[in-house]
A and B are shown apart, each in its own frame.
Chain A
Amino acid sequence: MILFVIFCPIIAAILIMVGAPARKTALAASVLTLAAALFLLASFQLLQRDFQHVTSFTISPEWHLSFSTGVDGLSLAMVLLAAIVTLAAVWFAGKIEKYEKAFYACLLFISGGAIGAFASIDLFFFYAFHELALIPTFLLIGIWGSGNRIAAAWKITIYLAVGSFILLLGLILLYQSVPAASRSFDIRALQAAASLGQISADAQRHIYLLLLIGFGILTSLFPFHTWAPEAYAAAPAPAAMLHAGILKKFGLYGLLRLAIPMLPEGARHWTNLLVVLLLANIIYVGLVTIAQKRLDWMLGYSSVMHMGYIFLGIASAGILGVTGAATMMFAHGLSIALLFALAGELRKRTGTLIFDELGGLAKVMPFAGLAFGLGAFAAIGLPGFANFAGEIMIFFGAFKNGWEIGRFHIFQVATVLALWGVVFSTVYMLRAYRKAFMGMLNERWNGLVDLRTGLRVPVALLVGALLWYGFFPQSFVRMITPAFRTYLTANK
């Protein structure tokens, strides 16, 4: 079943390339993928800590390299996110003017690559699947992008290529850091070696730094974030949804999957650096976001800013903060996909996303206005949305880290500063909402039509998932905490 989830989009993409009808095949494949992901969720054993639904094919015995896939709670959550966002992105894509087949094939390749990366328990394929998205992203932005698409496409491609090669160095070093006899690409074997203390503290520091830079570039950690807003502004909406919603979570997922269990000493060593960088993400990028004059750039920067919260949860290295980070990854993926989808629809109808030219659109597009409002509220972190659950866990988790009565340590200061980020996101989200949807309606937009009924389905899907996990975060938390319980203690 897990192989089906990975290869359904990829096979559909190949079928489209050799001649199957593009949109129908893509929709069918993404519905099937979501159904299969839901099946995985239904048959998932909550109490079990190990990977489930494991399949494995040996590729190279002497390198201990095999194509192994399986899910634990964390990766299942990510696979589910990927399946939901893929369906929404494909649904929103609609009719494409030029090279329709290539467009849908690219979308499905990105999605299949992301799912493959989340579901791999082999380090090599974990890495390789993520890279499957690189060339399709380049083509998506280059062929179908808007605005400054050429510069944006080069920037994202070069950044991500270099970032992933730095990551590759870290992964190779990780592989070599255990004694030759137990070297393996299998993440479970590496975790076992790490829990026996076979990775020396010195090696951990080096590996963690490489992973932090590599994953940091992929996740737009300050100061490696400049590719993200530009690329998301230029990308066609479905590509931005997939990239900001799913692919950017790969770096965070990698830190949760590799750094937390295997490199605790490395994490401790670089905590201060990471905290400074993530505060720059929240505060500096937050202020930059407020200054944006275009909706697409604002959304791009906001997605960079929210990565700061997730990094805070990861840096806190306690079970509460890490669970919050995972929840936030899931919630942010859904909310940013929703916002990018609506921004794409606006661009399709008005041809512009400059705030000063928009205004009062809720009068002519009430449904879009409602949906954007919900997405914005979710992104701010209003209670009732999954984002709130994630943020509050991150803040409590981070605040508790190293807490002593009467004394503030770095994490307490960081939490206080990060809370200001909530204010920033309220400012820019509500401002965007007011400028685009409230106020006086520009006469040019009198003739605009609201989202068709067909397009309301993916919106409902995304909002529904956000609300469900907002009101019942426990169902999500129960799924992912067993993945961390072995490595982190609750009272840290």
Chain B
Amino acid sequence: MITAPQLEIAVLLLGMAILMFEAFATRVDKRVLAFAAIVGLALILIASFFVSPTPSPDRATGLWNFYTADKLSVFFKQFALLTTIFVLIMMIDYAPVVRASFPGTTDGLGEFFSVPIFTCVGLMYLVSAVDFIFIFVSLELVTVSFYVLVSFTRKNPVTLEAGVKYLVLSALSTAFLVYGIAWIFGATGQTNLQRITEALANPNTDHSAALLGVVLVLVALGFKIAAVPFQIWVPDVYQGAPTPVTAYLSVGSKAAGFVVLLRVLRPFVTLPQMQRLLVLIALLTLIYGNLAALPQGNLKRLLAYSSIAHSGYLLIGVVCLDGNAVVFYLAAYFLMTLLSFAVLVIVAQQTGEQISDFDGLAKRSPFLAFAMLIGMVSLAGVPFTAGFLGKFFIFYAAILQRQIALVVIGVITVGCGFYYYLKVVRAMYWQPANKAENIPISGLSRLAISALIAATIWLGVYPQPILNMLKR
């Protein structure tokens, strides 16, 4: 039997091996490294289905004090692995852009393919973390590797701007996180989430100090999940970063943020102020994300605002403390966002990132246009796609808890969403094409995109596999 920590160790070894190989084998085509990483991660993904269960939290000792392998974390480890695999596939398509940004040299690509593996380790640790110290360390592993990735094509001033913005604001949010943890530790004397719950049940604990601490932690996590008012960095960084990295940020980083949020909030839900604060954040995020997305003409920026908007819907699930709805939404979000980015990476190299660059795509590449169509209608929430069921479960939870304000704003913003997502559909199908030639797609990308289309529809019609996985 495999134990859960072995998965991270395996990924870590894989990353180091690829980095070492890259350092010594200077002559090989660097894309070989990406293929090796994909194969390695796929093997670990398979292994992750045979993980033995974790000891129960009250009898935990040693490592298990700050590390858990419950169903949620195993599910998200698989999630992180799959995300990384798809991001690596996108990176292979994106390689010419990276190479072009380092004229005259051969270096660069090797790190571009190996750094995501370390991010993946960070994400996998993060979803297992049940101790604030461990949460902090793994969050930093994720963030530091993203510093590198976001500003990877550093000769491009827009990318550099994105990198600096991300670095500064991320560091600031980290500071908030540490400060918040310190307050919670001061109030409860614990860093383990389970023990904090017990300490909070004790009437002698200073609840207002703990509350201040968790609000500070919320600031840091709000930065990670792009919740209003901590979303300012998102549009610029998403637009400036290399497209596969943007996809990684919006899927991997966000999913991990929400898992941590669910775990961290659990001890504090008994505090009534918490709920009100979260409702307010969710409302603001929904309104800001959807309204700001309406006028966007750049698709990457549009997806950035859409990512804020989806954080709003996810936060509705968090407010209702319906972990399953949040997880299902994240799974759906994973599929449809990666699908959109995968098409964007390919099309953007031929024409550009503006929505008008997608004009007439249906003529030039019916396959890519159809893939984008599925991605967009799923993001908008049309039935028989995963995105609709995600929204369905979220709204179900909100109605069950009678969160009227969230439901009303949610429905109005869904209407906004239809407008800006269908703008892309309109460009692809209504408008005449600027160029006539077909767009080439590599076999691997075609396979990956087909798999994502199939999964988006499959999950929209038959959600039971995910529901079962969460029940187990």
Main secondary structure of the interface of A (DSSP, over half): helix
Q: Are A157 and B430 in contact (CB-based, < 8 A)?
A: no
Which residues from chain B contact A63 at a C-beta distance below 8 Å?
A: 467
Query: Nearest-CB distance from B409 to chain A (Å)?
Result: 12
A427 adjacent to chain B (CB < 8 Å): no
Query: Nearest-CB distance from B58 to chain A (Å)?
Result: 28
Which residues from chain A contact B373 at a C-beta distance below 8 Å?
A: 135
Q: Which of B414, B422, B425, B463 has the most CB of A within 10 A?
A: B422
A38 adjacent to chain B (CB < 8 Å): no
Contacts A60-B467, A142-B426 hold; do A162 and B415 have CB atoms under 8 A apart?
Answer: yes
Q: Which of B380, B392, B418 has the most CB of A within 10 A?
A: B418
Complex: A161 Cα to B387 Cα, angstroms:
14
Interface string of A129-140 (1 = CB under 8 A from B): 101101100110
Q: Are A176 and B362 in contact (CB-based, < 8 A)?
A: no
Which residues from chain A contact B382 at a C-beta distance below 8 Å?
A: 131, 134-135
Main secondary structure of the interface of B (DSSP, over half): helix
Interface string of B384-414 (1 = CB under 8 A from A): 1000100010011001100000010001101
Residue from A59, A134, A139, A162 in contact with B412 in the complex, judged by beta carbons closer than 8 Å = A162
A154 adjacent to chain B (CB < 8 Å): yes
Number of A-B contacts (CB under 8 A): 78
User: Which of chain A's residues has its CB closest to B383's CB?
Assistant: A128
Complex: A210 Cα to B155 Cα, angstroms:
55
A168 adjacent to chain B (CB < 8 Å): yes
Beta-carbon contacts under 8 Å, A112-163 to B: 127-129, 131-132, 134-135, 138-139, 142-143, 150, 153-154, 157-158, 161-162
B377 adjacent to chain A (CB < 8 Å): yes
B49 adjacent to chain A (CB < 8 Å): no
Contacts A128-B383, A154-B419 hold; do A59 and B411 have CB atoms under 8 A apart?
Answer: no
Residue from B384, B399, B426 in contact with A169 in the complex, judged by beta carbons closer than 8 Å = B399
Q: Are A60 and B464 in contact (CB-based, < 8 A)?
A: yes
Interface bin, chain B = 20 to 34
B50 adjacent to chain A (CB < 8 Å): no
User: Which of chain A's residues has its CB closest to B366's CB?
Assistant: A17
User: Which of chain A's residues has its CB closest to B414's CB?
Assistant: A165
Which residues from chain B contact A102 at a C-beta distance below 8 Å?
A: 362, 429
Interface string of B254-298 (1 = CB under 8 A from A): 000000000000000000000000000000000000000000000
Q: Are B392 and A59 in contact (CB-based, < 8 A)?
A: no
Complex: A186 Cα to B151 Cα, angstroms:
53
Which residues from chain B contact A169 at a C-beta distance below 8 Å?
A: 395, 399, 407, 411
B462 adjacent to chain A (CB < 8 Å): yes
Beta-carbon contacts under 8 Å, A62-89 to B: 62-63
Which residues from chain A contact B414 at a C-beta distance below 8 Å?
A: 161-162, 165
Which residues from chain A contact B392 at a C-beta distance below 8 Å?
A: 168, 172
Which residues from chain A contact B395 at a C-beta distance below 8 Å?
A: 168-169, 172
Which residues from chain B contact A60 at a C-beta distance below 8 Å?
A: 463-464, 467
Q: Are A135 and B462 in contact (CB-based, < 8 A)?
A: no
Q: Are A143 and B430 in contact (CB-based, < 8 A)?
A: yes
Q: How many A residues have CB within 8 A of the partner chain?
A: 31
Q: Are A158 and B419 in contact (CB-based, < 8 A)?
A: yes
Beta-carbon contacts under 8 Å, B346-390 to A: 362, 373, 377, 380-384, 388
Q: Are B400 and A161 in contact (CB-based, < 8 A)?
A: no
User: Which of chain B's residues has its CB closest to A163's CB?
Assistant: B415
Residue from A59, A127, A129, A161 in contact with B418 in the complex, judged by beta carbons closer than 8 Å = A161
Query: Nearest-CB distance from A137 to chain B (Å)?
Result: 11
Which residues from chain B contact A59 at a C-beta distance below 8 Å?
A: 461-464
Which residues from chain B contact A135 at a C-beta distance below 8 Å?
A: 373, 377, 382, 422, 425
Q: Are A162 and B464 in contact (CB-based, < 8 A)?
A: no
A41 adjacent to chain B (CB < 8 Å): no
Complex: A263 Cα to B461 Cα, angstroms:
29
Complex: A32 Cα to B430 Cα, angstroms:
31
Complex: A173 Cα to B383 Cα, angstroms:
18
Complex: A458 Cα to B412 Cα, angstroms:
41
A28 adjacent to chain B (CB < 8 Å): no
Residue from A99, A134, A162 in contact with B362 in the complex, judged by beta carbons closer than 8 Å = A99
Which residues from chain A contact B380 at a C-beta distance below 8 Å?
A: 161
User: Which of chain B's residues has its CB closest to A162's CB?
Assistant: B415
Complex: A143 Cα to B431 Cα, angstroms:
8
Which residues from chain B contact A158 at a C-beta distance below 8 Å?
A: 415, 418-419
Complex: A70 Cα to B85 Cα, angstroms:
43
Which residues from chain B contact A15 at a C-beta distance below 8 Å?
A: none
Interface string of A85-121 (1 = CB under 8 A from B): 0000000000000010010000000000000000000
A166 adjacent to chain B (CB < 8 Å): yes
11 chain-A/chain-B pairs, Cβ below 8 angstroms: A59-B461, A60-B463, A62-B467, A129-B383, A132-B383, A132-B384, A134-B382, A138-B422, A139-B425, A154-B422, A161-B380
List B residues at the A interface (Cβ < 8 Å): 362, 373, 377, 380-384, 388, 392, 395-396, 399-400, 407, 411-412, 414-415, 418-419, 422, 425-426, 429-430, 461-464, 467, 471
List A residues at the B interface (Cβ < 8 Å): 59-60, 62-63, 99, 102, 127-129, 131-132, 134-135, 138-139, 142-143, 150, 153-154, 157-158, 161-162, 165-166, 168-169, 172-173, 176
5 closest Cβ pairs, A-B complex: A128-B383, A162-B415, A161-B418, A131-B383, A142-B430
